[in-house]
Each structure stands twice: as structure tokens, then as C-alpha cells.
Amino acid sequence: MPLVAGVDSSTQSTKVEIRDLETGEVRGFGSAAHPTVTPPCSEQDPQSWWSAFELAWGDAVGSNAGEVVAISVAGQQHGMVALDVEDRPVHPAKLWNDTESAPDAAWLLDRIGAAVTDAPALGGRRAWADAVGSVPVAAFTVTKLSWLHRTRPEAWAQVARVLLPHDYLTHRLTGGYTTDRGDASGTGYWSPRTGEYRFDLLALIDGDRDWSGVVPDVLGPLDVAGSWQGRTVAVGTGDNMAAALGLGVVVGEAVVSIGTSGTAYTVSPTPTADAGGEVAGFADATGHFLPLVCTSNAAKVLDAISRILGVDHAEFDRLALDAGPGGPVLLPYLDGERTPDRPQATGILAGLRSDVSRAQVARAAADGVACGLLDALDALDRVTAAPSRIVLTGGGARSVALRSVIAGLVDAPVVRADVAEAVATGAAVQAASALEQVEPSVIQQRWGLGAAEIVEGTDSGDLRERYAALRDA
């Protein structure tokens, strides 16, 4: 029976999911950890991703390796993998949550703004949004390239190729240099609207370099990147784009993904360009578009507060659910924040009184993460239609407390997806789609993706008003 493999290479680990090509049944799973990182400097050796893949692959396939006929890699967006002429990293890969390039984001806005308007700050944001659908912040690859050019001139001189994390792993499989429109749209120098690189933006960093030979080829959604040990290798994509495939979301639905970071996104038939910078105008992995808002602090906030309280996740949930509304308010920007753009921010716990309880602190964590994610949904609503349904996914969605707070604060129905590993599942969908040369929707329908359970909400009183007052203080 033929099988397909989906790979999810995230900040924390590489996961491999094996599915039956015909039925979609999960036939194997493996996971291996990546080195731990903590912003503002968040770097990993790309070789560690390949080592993790090899371990996860071995655990996932077992004795069935010969039955796997196609594979696709989804990876964390934005990261910078700069290679020399022999494909060796000239510097450890800068990850999306590395904030050392925050000054470079501001510098790039000034550079383009000064060229198009007498008001550089406003003009820069508008110009970047018009050019590539997004306003670059420290997460974007273009800012990390600027950082490397500015701070590591010897390494910069050796740069021959620049890849994204998923591109790197696909390269290790095929030997080629390819990417897809979804992941390319998160670089800050590829336009979802035109489907072309903006070499003029890269020239702001280094005008003497021929960038056309540095960046990977952008393949189409059904294109094959190459082969690995006789298996078809699909083009791959970014993690959020893969998750949309794995969840089977349709136009009009919004997804809130609660991992280490949080994202809110929707599938759109048209491109978006938010000069305010909150909504990134990405492309998706099917030919449509994926306007997205990202927060840096989501499930890791629950993990941190659980550690401080000395409880596991189940006890954290029990505590948070025992506390009623109206307690302390947590602004959860523990390691800086991407939306809003506050890379140097820290967390704030306000409203403490002498009778504060452990349950109230747990509830404050769930409330704070929920409000940060709902701020992201609000930003998304400003450039797209209000969602018909909100789908929760990711490890943080396992928290009953968090998902019930979210459901109680929105008007649309809230559901929790029943796909355990949405990114890896989406990569498997892409692998099957490329193998059979059919639209991903054909695979999604055949595998029965898109099912979810309804989430009941809990009363949170005036939480959003109190949170907004703390956020805007």
C-alpha cells in the first residue's frame, strides 16, 4: 500500500507523519527535538534540522520505508539560511523569532521611504506593503539579511545562496534550490501579487550583488522539486500554509493556531496589503492568498506560568477554570512581541492584590494569551471579511481554559480541529497532491479533513477592555 510523508520542521522539533495515500490513515509518526533557543538571539545550526529529520524519519517509517512514494517538507517561516558556494552555512540560521534585526527593519523602512516620499516613515510602510504585501518586522528574512550584511561582513562576503528553513531541508533531499510561493511571500522580497522577486528591495542591502543567482526558484503548488531515494519530493511550503492544507479550511473561515507563537489567518481569493504592518499579506500553498497576523507569545506563556506555579498542564487548566473573571490581567509579551511590533517588550502582570490566588494567576495567563490572539483576529478582520467560523489548532488549543476564554469573547462559532499535527498533515496532503497531480482539495476530501468539535465559551466579563487599557498604557 503506497504511503506519503509530511514533514513539519518547527522552531522546537522536526516531526514526520506517514499517511496512507488512499485513505489518509496515519501509519507512522516520529519526532526529534531541535536545540533550544531564546530570543533576542534565536539561532540554530541547519545541520541540526537534518539530524532531527533523520531520527524522526527512522521512527516514523519503521519497516515501511519502501512503501513511502512521496514526501513534502513544511518549515518555520522567515528564517535565514545563508550558504557558501559549497552549501555550508556562513552563519547559524537566524530564526523567525530572533529580534536582533529589529534595527534593520527600521532602517529598511527609512531607506525605501526616503526614496518615495517626503514622510519616510509613513511612505516606507506603504511602499513595502504595495511591493510585497507586508511591512517587514524583525521576523522577516530581508531584515536578517540586512543584519548579516551590517554585522558580519566576512560571512556576508561568502554568501552564495539564501534559503528558508523548508528550502534547506528540501535541498538536502533533492540537491536543488527551490521554494514555493507561500514561504517566499514571507521573505519581504517576493511579491504575492506579481509572483516575482523584488530585487530592487534586496539591492537596498547590497546593490553590488547579483541577487538572481542567490535566491531559490519559486515553483508552483503542484510542481515537483525533485526526488529522494526514488520518492517524489513536492515543493514544500511554510508551516502556516501547510497547516491550512491539513485543516481543510475554506474561504471565509479563520484559523487561530496556538503554538509557541500564535497566528490568525484566513484563505483569501485576493491579495492583501496592510500598510499598518499588522497583517502580513502572504500567499498560500494552493494559488490563493493567506493574510496572516502573528504573535510571538502564545502557548509558551502557558508553559512559563505553569512552571512558575509548579503545575502540569492539566492542573493549570483546573486552576484557571476555577478562577472567575475580574482578577489580575497579564500582558503576555514575555520575550518581545511581533504584533504589535514591540521587539523589546516584556510581560506585565497588573491588578495584583494581597489576596491574589494561584488560580487567578493561571486564569490571567489564559486570559492574556486569548486577548493577544483576539487582537490578531481583529487586525485580520480589518482587511478581510469577518469569519464564518474560527478553527483552533496547535498544542495550546489543548488547554480547555484557553479555548473556552476565546470562545466566550467572539461572536462567530469556535471549533477545535481534530487533526493532531496540522502542519505535518498539510505537508502530507501536498506530497499526495504533487504525486497525483491533483488539487489539494481532492486529497483533503478523500481523507476527510476539516472535521472539528464545537467549543463552549466561558464568561470573561470586561476582560478585553481591561486588557486594552494595559496594552495601550
The catalytic residues are 239
Strands 389-393 and 414-417: parallel
CB 93 within 8 A of CB 80: yes
**Residue in the structure block whose three cell numbers are 487586525:** 379
CB 277 within 8 A of CB 338: no
Q: Give, in degrees to the nearest 5, the angle at Cα 29 between 24 and 30.
A: 155
**Residue in the structure block whose three cell numbers are 504589535:** 340
Q: What is the four-CA torsion angle of 12, 397, 423, 25, rounded to 10 degrees?
A: 120
CB 79 within 8 A of CB 90: no
Reported residue count of the chain is: 473
What angle separates helix 358-381 from helix 400-408, to the nearest 10 degrees? 50
| Residues 201, 108: Cα–Cα separation, whole Å | 9
CB 372 within 8 A of CB 338: no
CB 232 within 8 A of CB 223: no
Task: Identify the CA nearest to 394 among candidates 310, 278, 292, 299.
Answer: 299
| Residues 245, 294: Cα–Cα separation, whole Å | 18
| Residues 137, 105: Cα–Cα separation, whole Å | 5
DSSP 50-62: HHHHHHHHHHHHT
Q: How many CB atoms lie within 10 A of CB 242?
A: 32
| Residues 248, 244: Cα–Cα separation, whole Å | 6
- The β-bridge partners of 19 are 4, 26
